[in-house]
């Protein structure tokens, strides 16, 4: 059954039946040259020279949707008590189901593009017990805090959420000036504006204060994910590779960036004699898609490793793979030791001992 019921004819009336987070039976008047505010669960309004009324590039739309959901998913993990929302790995299916959205409309509000989202019927529940609803609410509220320069992490936020918010802001380098999020989950909607100024504040917060901050660009070719001493190697377009150390909070970002051209920022350790960077302790890493055509000659080539290369094998599987069979005759190990009586071994040892005595 549709959530929209028309009771009027022509331009007289247009009534809409709403879900619990929306108004109930709200009458909307149509005006020439305006867009009906349909109060869908979530609305994103994009403006900028790269945005046309009611139109947005597909890759920009997919990036924004992916990074927004990644941020909301990490908020949900924090709300559930996870201390590491950024850690790589599969997410619980209940969280993915709770935050999933349907695109119900892409329209315009000259000169902007407006994208509207709804939740599915299966997600509707009591607001105070709805993890998905809470995650979206804390995401929008927290976005207002981190883009305005707040110091403490807002509820539901951690370093992983900030990284996802930062990555969504890459659209500001692609002709988008601002993104307005409107969450119609209660009688009073939540609105927050994300623009380049807010994006720069998020960037500064991720990097943090550093004594010897350096930024390098290059292709990430190697990463070691040991629990202690995780490190990677960045190969600039010119010059020697640089070893970079990274913390647990950046594992997911590093994993997603392997073999890609990246920009890393962090505190550098330098050799004053050689005047070169020895290592960088990374505070931020991001992919640079506009430079993916650089340093491609250093990318690894050849046939990939077989799929079972990294799989641990049992002793029986190793023996079978190497053609080793169970021992059936213990003499095969002993051989002919200690040898025949007249093999001359004892006589040779005696001569050596006598020679040593005479030499002494």
- Specify the pLDDT at position 214: 86
Indicate if 120 and 222 belong to the same structural domain: no
Over range 34-42, report the average pLDDT.
64
Q: Is 359 inside any structural domain?
A: no
Over range 194-202, report the average pLDDT.
93
Per mean pLDDT, which range of 9-13, 117-121, 276-280 is the poorest? Answer: 9-13
Indicate if 218 and 202 belong to the same structural domain: no
DSSP string, 233-259: EEE-SSS--EEEE--GGGHHHHHHHTT
Per mean pLDDT, which range of 28-37, 158-167, 213-222, 297-306 is the poorest? Answer: 28-37
Enumerate the H helices of 110-266 as residue ranges.
131-146, 159-168, 196-207, 251-257
Interstrand relation of 213-224 and 15-16 (parallel, antiparallel or unpaired) = unpaired
Indicate if 138 and 78 belong to the same structural domain: yes
DSSP string, 195-213: EHHHHHHHHHHHH---SSE
Indicate if 63 and 81 belong to the same structural domain: yes
With 0-12 / 13-18 / 19 or more C-beta atoms within 10 angstroms meaning exposed / middle / buried, residue 135 is buried
Compute the chain's Rg from CA coordinates: 32
Band of pLDDT at residue 1, cut at 50, 70 and 90: very low
- C-alpha 212/C-alpha 46 separation (Å) is 37
Over range 272-277, report the average pLDDT.
81
Identify which has the larger pLDDT, 181 or 299.
181
The percentage of residues in the chain with a pLDDT greater than 90, rounded to a whole number, is 25
Q: Is 102 inside any structural domain?
A: yes
Over range 261-276, report the average pLDDT.
85
Tokens of 99: 């935050």
How many distinct structural domains can be found in the chain?
2
- Specify the pLDDT at position 145: 93
- C-alpha 199/C-alpha 346 separation (Å) is 86
Band of pLDDT at residue 38, cut at 50, 70 and 90: low
pLDDT at 88 over 80: no
Per mean pLDDT, which range of 38-52, 106-120, 209-223, 299-313 is the poorest? Answer: 299-313
Over range 98-119, report the average pLDDT.
88
Place of tokens 């930062």: 166
Over range 143-167, report the average pLDDT.
89
Indicate if 198 and 218 belong to the same structural domain: no
- Specify the pLDDT at position 228: 62
Phi, psi of 149 (to 5 degrees): 95, 15
Q: Is 336 inside any structural domain?
A: no
Band of pLDDT at residue 154, cut at 50, 70 and 90: very high
Indicate if 199 and 228 belong to the same structural domain: no
Instruction: Write down which residue in 185, 206, 227 finishes a domain.
Output: 206
Q: Determine contact, residues 242/236, Cβ cutoff 8 Å.
A: yes
pLDDT at 356 over 90: no
Indicate if 68 and 150 belong to the same structural domain: yes
CATH code, 239:
2.40.50.140
Band of pLDDT at residue 28, cut at 50, 70 and 90: very low
Q: Is 161 inside any structural domain?
A: yes
Indicate if 234 and 262 belong to the same structural domain: yes
Q: Is 109 inside any structural domain?
A: yes
pLDDT at 73 over 50: yes
SS3 call for 356:
helix
- Specify the pLDDT at position 160: 87
- Specify the pLDDT at position 333: 66
Nearest CA among 41, 183, 22 for reference residue 102:
41
Q: For 234-266, how does the pLDDT look when each residue is reduced to its tens digit (9 = 90+)?
A: 998 888 888 888 887 788 888 888 899 999 988
Instruction: Write down which residue in 206, 226, 255 finishes a domain.
Output: 206
Instruction: Write down which residue in 258, 281, 298 finishes a domain.
Output: 298
Q: Is 181 inside any structural domain?
A: yes
Nearest CA among 354, 212, 219, 331 for reference residue 283:
212
Indicate if 282 and 225 belong to the same structural domain: yes
Identify which has the larger pLDDT, 308 or 288.
288
Tokens of 353: 């001992």
Q: Is 287 inside any structural domain?
A: yes
- C-alpha 160/C-alpha 187 separation (Å) is 30
Band of pLDDT at residue 76, cut at 50, 70 and 90: very high
Over range 98-109, report the average pLDDT.
88
The conformation of residue 5, written as its DSSP 8-state character, comes to -
Q: Determine contact, residues 43/116, Cβ cutoff 8 Å.
A: yes
Tokens of 303: 């046939």
Q: Is 239 inside any structural domain?
A: yes
The boundaries of the domain holding residue 234 are: 212-298
- Specify the pLDDT at position 347: 80
Indicate if 175 and 249 belong to the same structural domain: no
Indicate if 283 and 177 belong to the same structural domain: no
Q: Determine contact, residues 244/264, Cβ cutoff 8 Å.
A: yes
With 0-12 / 13-18 / 19 or more C-beta atoms within 10 angstroms meaning exposed / middle / buried, residue 55 is exposed
Indicate if 118 and 220 belong to the same structural domain: no
Band of pLDDT at residue 118, cut at 50, 70 and 90: very high
């Amino acid at each position: 059954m549709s959530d929209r019921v028309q009771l009027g004819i022509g331009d007289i009336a247009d009534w809409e039946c709403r879900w619990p987070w929306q108004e109930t039976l709200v009458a909307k008047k149509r005006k020439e040259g305006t867009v009906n505010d349909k109060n869908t669960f979530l609305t994103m309004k994009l403006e900028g020279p790269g945005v046309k009324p009611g139109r947005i590039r597909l890759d920009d739309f997919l990036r924004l949707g992916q990074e927004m959901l990644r941020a909301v998913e990490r908020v949900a993990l924090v709300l559930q008590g996870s201390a590491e929302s950024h850690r790589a790995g599969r997410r619980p299916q209940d969280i993915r189901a709770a935050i999933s959205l349907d695109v119900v409309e892409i329209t315009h509000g000259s000169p902007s593009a407006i994208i509207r989202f709804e939740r599915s019927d299966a997600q509707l529940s009591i607001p105070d017990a709805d993890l998905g609803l809470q995650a979206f609410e804390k995401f929008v509220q927290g976005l207002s805090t981190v883009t305005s320069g707040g110091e403490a992490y807002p509820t539901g936020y951690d370093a992983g959420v900030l990284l996802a918010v930062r990555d969504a802001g890459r659209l500001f380098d692609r002709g988008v000036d601002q993104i307005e999020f409107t969450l119609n989950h209660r009688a009073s909607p939540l609105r927050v504006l994300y623009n380049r100024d807010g994006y720069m504040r998020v960037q500064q917060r991720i990097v943090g204060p550093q004594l010897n901050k350096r930024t390098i660009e290059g292709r990430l070719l190697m990463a070691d994910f040991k629990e202690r001493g995780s490190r990677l190697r960045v190969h600039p377009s010119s010059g020697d590779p640089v070893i970079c150390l990274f913390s647990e909070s950046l594992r997911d970002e590093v994993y997603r960036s392997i073999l890609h051209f990246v920009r890393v920022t962090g505190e550098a350790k330098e050799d004053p004699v050689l005047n070169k960077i020895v290592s960088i302790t990374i505070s931020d890493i991001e992919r640079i898609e506009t430079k993916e055509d650089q340093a491609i000659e250093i990318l690894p080539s050849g046939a990939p490793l077989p799929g079972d290369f990294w799989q641990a094998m049992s002793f029986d599987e190793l023996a079978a793979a190497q053609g080793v069979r169970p021992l059936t005759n213990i003499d095969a190990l002993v051989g002919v030791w200690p040898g025949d009586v007249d093999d001359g071994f004892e006589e040779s040892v005696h001569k050596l001992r006598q020679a040593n005595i005479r030499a002494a």
